[in-house]
Amino acid sequence: MEKHSLNDRAEDANPSGAEEQIAVVDGFNTFLKNTLLSPEDRATCEAMYRLTLSDSLTGLSNLLSLEIALSDIRKEIVLNKENGIEKTPFLIAFDLDKFKELNDTSGHSSGDEYLKSIAKHVREILRSSDTFARVGGDEFVIILPDSNILNATKIAGRIMDATTKIMEERSHDENEKNGVDVSVSVGVAPWDEEQESKEVRMQADYALYVAKALGKDAVVSYGDALKLDGINDLKKPINPDSMYNAFIKERKK
């Protein structure tokens, strides 16, 4: 298996022009707040603003909206540190295993319905303060603005349960009986107060990559990913107290 490093995924974690795009959106938001508009014009502008930050298929936040949320969280981390407030944000990155096979077997319309279903089910388990974004075809990122490793593990488990539930629902649909069992791989990373958003996104993505390399249908924390000797030594036992093993143990109950 080819060895990968965190830097190999840096480009994905820091899309080109993100800061400029955020500045444009912030400017438009300021315009809406400070400009006298007719009710009709304001409604139109606000609708355009929402569309700019939404994924057209699922209605989730899009990549630009995620970048804005990450920027806001980073500012909040700095303020919390100055005021002695202890909060630890977490990032959860996940994507769907065998999704391409599902698309190839059942068609893209079926794949689209699956994406909408996973968005609906996962959104139901999150708090209103959490950010849930679709950042690629079958790639998603969640920001938990104040959490811990136990809660992040539980949410990861519920995301995996959601995929199981969707597959069970689809098994009753004659048009969806294609033999493709879609699962989910999850990477989790805590956001240290010294980290920039790009770094923590890279870490969550790296943990996700390791989860897939372990055989998919798994959740791995960034700390666990570092215990492996690069990406090649996937047979090395992970600490029994690790997030991955705690999750597997909980799933077997």
- The catalytic residue among 55, 95, 130, 138 is 138
138 is an active site residue: yes
Q: What letters, b where the CB count within 10 A reaches 16 and e where it falls short, cover 8-33?
A: ebeeebbeeebeebbeebeeeeeeee
With beta carbons less than 8 A apart as the criterion, state whether 96 and 163 touch.
Answer: yes
Q: Which residues are catalytic?
A: 138
